[in-house]
Structure 1
Amino acid sequence: MIKYEWRTELDPQEAAELADMLARAATYDAEPEYSTIDFDNVQAALDSRDRQVKHLLIWMLPYATAMAAPDEPERIAALLRLEIGEDGAAKAHLVVDPRFRSIGITTLFVEQVGLDTGAPDGWLGTGARSITAWARGNHPATGRLSNRFLIPRTRRIWKLIRACTPHLVAGSPVLEPVDPASVNHLEWTRSLIATDGIYALRLGGCVSGLVALDFAPRTSEEFGACATATELLSAPGADPADLRRLLDGAAAIAHERGLTGLIVHVDSGDSRLVNACRLVGFQHDRTDVCYQIGDHS
Structure 2
Amino acid sequence: MSLELDWSTVDYELTRSVHRFLSEAFAATALPDFVGPISLDHFSFGDEQPDINILDITDIDKQFLLPDDDHESDEDQLPPLPPRSTSRSRSHSPAPFNTATLESDSYTHAASQAGAGYPPPPPPLSSAPSPSFQLLVRISYSGNLSLALSTSLRINYPSPAFMSLPLQLSLTDLAFQGVLVVAFEGGKNRIHISLVEAPPPAEAEAPTTSTSLASMMAATSASRPTTTTTTMTAAARAATKKERFLRSAHVESRVGNADKHVLRNVGKVEKFVLDVARTTLENELVFPNFQTILF
TM score, norm. by length of structure 1: 0.26
Q: Flag the structure with higher strand content.
A: 1
TM score, norm. by length of structure 2: 0.26
